[in-house]
Amino acid sequence: MAAPSSSRAVLGTMRDRQHQVSDPARMRGERAVRWKGAGQLVPALLFLGLFFLLPLSGLLLRGFLDPTPGLENYQTLFANGAYAQVLFNTFGVAALVTLFSVLIGFPLAWTITLMPRGWGRILFNIVLLSMWTSLLARTYAWLVLLQGSGVINKLLLALGLIDQPLELVNSLTGVVIGMTYIMIPFIVLPLQATLQAVDPMVLQAGAICGASPWTNFRKVFLPMCRSGLGSGALMVFVMSLGYYVTPALLGGAQNMMLPEFIIQQVQSFLNWGLASAAAALLIVIALLLFALYLRLQPESPVDPQNAR
């Protein structure tokens, strides 16, 4: 009876010794694999460092060093009334465009989700159609529609809603209208992907439990859409901060926004320091907003397996 036990003990000891011998070799192999994987990242890191981090560092430094070291460029940017108005225009328009894009894009994305697959795909492609058209062409189309003799003013006059044409061109109102149209696809895309994964049974359960439609929407449906809504709104806001073509054509020189201001400082006044400070401000604010979004964004309660 003791012989089998002894042999099992000997076999166990031999296995332990084999593991002890093989462990260092296995660890060396794992380290080699890790280093090999890290080595594959070197080209990407070099590309980012050369074409993103290096120019960004130069931009930030120039805002502090040109023409003299200090905070003069940033003080000028905020202290000068005309420059402060440019900042107000930029962030005000970006906020309004984001708000209207959400108000239009949210029900549009929900409609696409509720429609039968074929019709929903057609409507989704219609929304994306604007993205396949040149930005300059879309902006000029709105320029024609919004001008004093354009279709919109003629229609409002014919309906008796206005007595004289509205000044929709060379105004921030026209900028908001044109940019909202351009930005709607960027809020529909993430929202529609999130809404597709919402389980309708959850909404039915809320209604069965006695929740009113508004309560069901606010406390059940909206939290489930928070991920797509937040990412879409952030994308629209950040993109709106840096848009140049549409504000330049629809807003005019009297309603300048920060990208136009940067171009003006570089091309007309050769004020590279002030232009660098304005560009750095845009980049830093965009990065801070993205970091805040990542910090506040909860884990999505939507189960991808429920996608329709």
Confidence of residue 71 (pLDDT cuts 50, 70, 90): confident
Taking a C-beta distance cutoff of 8 angstroms, is the pair 198, 106 a contact? Answer: no
CA angle 64, 294, 232 (to 5 degrees): 95
- Helical residues (DSSP H) of the chain, grouped into ranges: 2-39, 42-48, 54-65, 72-79, 81-114, 117-129, 135-146, 151-158, 172-196, 200-208, 213-216, 222-224, 226-241, 245-251, 258-267, 272-296
Q: Is the pLDDT of residue 95 over 90?
A: yes
Taking a C-beta distance cutoff of 8 angstroms, is the pair 101, 94 a contact? Answer: no
Integer Cα distance of 92 and 55 in angstroms: 28
Q: How far is CA 164 from CA 58, 142, 155, 173, 284, in A?
A: 51, 19, 11, 16, 43
Chain mean position to CA 24: 47
| Residues 223-265 pLDDT 10s | 888 888 888 899 899 999 988 899 999 988 788 899 999 999 8
| Residues 22-61 pLDDT 10s | 556 566 666 666 666 667 778 888 888 888 888 888 888 8
Taking a C-beta distance cutoff of 8 angstroms, is the pair 127, 184 a contact? Answer: yes
| 3-state SS class at 105 | helix
Q: Rounded mean pLDDT of the chain? A: 82
Fold designation for 82-306: MetI-like fold (1.10.3720)
